[in-house]
């Protein structure tokens, strides 16, 4: 006997900077992705409209790059804390002591753009509900610290700067407020000094930090926010999802692991959103469509931070663990960082699948290495799609839409 399943679908889509380039004869990858995803929404919306259930198909959207934007409206939610937990599980704090990031933002006249940082192991690969009694399970707002000032003396033939007090040459990436250089010669002391965020220093915040996400506490948070599961039975619901897809832009580095776990959060019955049906609910299929065009990246730089700030903070904070569950530190190679992120991604996929989430994965011009990771993430071999030309995305999403519709028919 056959029955009809309801569908809970999360579209987990790479919005990194490389998606702004073309692949083959087609459009820019991000544009082709938007069009193909909207066609999938239309197909599933039409199926929902024909169904007898009023909530036959729900769709969520998770754009990701080096972090994920949950939306700035959640600053007061009970699952987010402005203060980084003191637990050693969360790694070393940039500020040395607990500081409320929302307070620092308010003092400098800035606001939170909505991005979050990765939870520590094991919560970064889990949909376990955040609980204030377990600080490491809570989410914290993304806050890219002000890096030490430079004295604008360029080194011949490079874009590097010499710090006048430390006589150190290197790259300054996120210098967005004037330091008090009389305080210390030490990079980390000056970077972690919170007095520069005082309210009377508002005039020292550079305009680029006030007007965007290239510099300032929101540097790296240029992606559009997620959309929670939305009923697409009506054209209004489908339009809401498609409008979110239209908002997507290509920016930042790649953190597929973080995108994956937030895709899982979308269909999970657990907080922060708790929008999904309980696991094991009869006649409900949970689906994740995961797309990326590149390798996981946690950048390296020649300054003491040894990288730019990301969803894992700085590498020296020891918040990213490898396959052996050892935290990486400054000096870790680019390959070590990629492999550690790959491990988090694979563990997240495995954990979600163990809960019954069906994963389709799509590699858009990816390396053989990333192809292997995505194939491992897919629920079955036929649920991985290899794209070598962005023009192929329309057919791939059409095939996935058809396959997802077939999940509605349960034997």
Give pLDDT tens digits for 327-386: 999 999 999 999 999 999 999 999 999 999 999 999 999 999 999 999 999 999 999 999
pLDDT band at 152 (very low <50, low <70, confident <90, very high): very low
Residue 183 has pLDDT above 90, yes or no: no
pLDDT, residue 90, reads 62
Residue 167 has pLDDT above 50, yes or no: no
Q: Compute the distance between CA of residue 340 and CA of residue 310 in angstroms, rounded to an integer.
A: 15
- 401 DSSP assignment: H
Residue, of 165 and 97, whose pLDDT is higher: 97
Q: Where are the domains of the chain?
A: 3-69+219-410, 161-211
| Of 221, 173, 178, residue with least CA distance to 201 | 178
CA dist 287 to 299, 366, 394, 403, Å?
Answer: 31, 22, 19, 11
User: Strand, coil or helix: what is 50?
Assistant: helix
pLDDT, residue 176, reads 86
For residues 69-90, average pLDDT: 86
Percentage of residues in the chain having pLDDT higher than 90? 74
For residues 30-43, average pLDDT: 99
Which tokens sit at 75? 């600053």
Q: Could you tell me the pTM of the whole model?
A: 0.93
Where b means 16+ CB within 10 Å and e means fewer, 273-296 reads: bebbbeeeeeebbbbbbbbbbbbb
Residue 185 has pLDDT above 60, yes or no: yes
Query: Quick one: CATH architecture of 3-69+219-410?
Result: 3-Layer(aba) Sandwich (3.40)
Specify whether the CB–CB gap between 253 and 299 falls below 8 A.
yes
Which tokens sit at 341? 């992120």
Question: Mind giving me the DSSP string for 301-337?
Answer: -SSTT-S--BTTB-GGG---B-TTSPBP-TT--HHHH
């Amino acid at each position: 006997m056959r029955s009809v399943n309801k569908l809970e679908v999360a579209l987990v889509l790479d919005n990194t900077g490389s998606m702004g380039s073309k692949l083959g004869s087609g459009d820019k990858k991000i544009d082709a992705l938007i069009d193909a995803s909207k066609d999938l929404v239309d197909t599933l919306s039409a199926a929902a409209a024909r169904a007898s259930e009023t909530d036959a198909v729900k769709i969520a959207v998770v754009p990701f790059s080096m972090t994920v934007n949950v939306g700035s409206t959640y600053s007061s939610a009970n699952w987010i804390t402005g203060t980084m937990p003191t637990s050693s599980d969360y790694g070393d704090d940039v500020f040395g002591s607990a500081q409320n990031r929302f307070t620092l933002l308010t003092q400098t006249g800035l606001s939170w753009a909505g991005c979050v940082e990765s939870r520590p192991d094991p919560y970064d690969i889990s949909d376990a509900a955040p609980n204030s009694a377990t600080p490491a399970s809570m989410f914290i707002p993304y806050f890219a610290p002000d890096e030490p000032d430079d004295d604008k003396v360029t080194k011949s033939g490079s874009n590097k700067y010499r710090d006048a007090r430390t006589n150190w040459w290197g790259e300054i990436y996120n210098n967005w407020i004037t330091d008090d250089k009389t305080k210390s010669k030490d990079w980390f002391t000056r970077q972690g000094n919170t007095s520069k965020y005082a309210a009377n220093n508002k005039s020292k915040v550079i305009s680029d930090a006030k007007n965007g996400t290239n510099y300032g506490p929101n540097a790296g948070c240029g992606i559009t926010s997620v959309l929670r599961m939305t009923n697409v039975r009506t054209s209004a619901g489908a339009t809401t999802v498609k409008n979110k897809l239209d908002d997507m832009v290509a920016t930042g580095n790649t953190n597929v692991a973080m995108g994956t776990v937030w895709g899982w959060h979308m269909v999970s019955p657990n907080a922060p959103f708790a929008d999904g049906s309980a696991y094991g609910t009869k006649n409900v299929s949970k689906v994740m469509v995961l797309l990326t065009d590149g390798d996981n990246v946690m950048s390296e730089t020649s300054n003491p931070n040894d990288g730019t700030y990301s969803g894992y903070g700085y590498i020296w904070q020891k918040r990213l663990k490898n396959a052996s569950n050892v935290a990486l530190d400054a000096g870790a190679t680019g390959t070590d960082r990629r492999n550690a992120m790959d491990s988090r991604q694979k563990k997240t996929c495995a954990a979600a699948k163990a809960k019954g989430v069906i994963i389709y994965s799509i590699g858009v011009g990816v390396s053989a290495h990333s192809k292997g990771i995505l194939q491992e993430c897919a629920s079955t071999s036929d649920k991985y799609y290899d794209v070598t030309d962005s023009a192929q995305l329309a057919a791939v999403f059409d095939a996935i839409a058809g396959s997802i519709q077939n999940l509605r028919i349960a034997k």
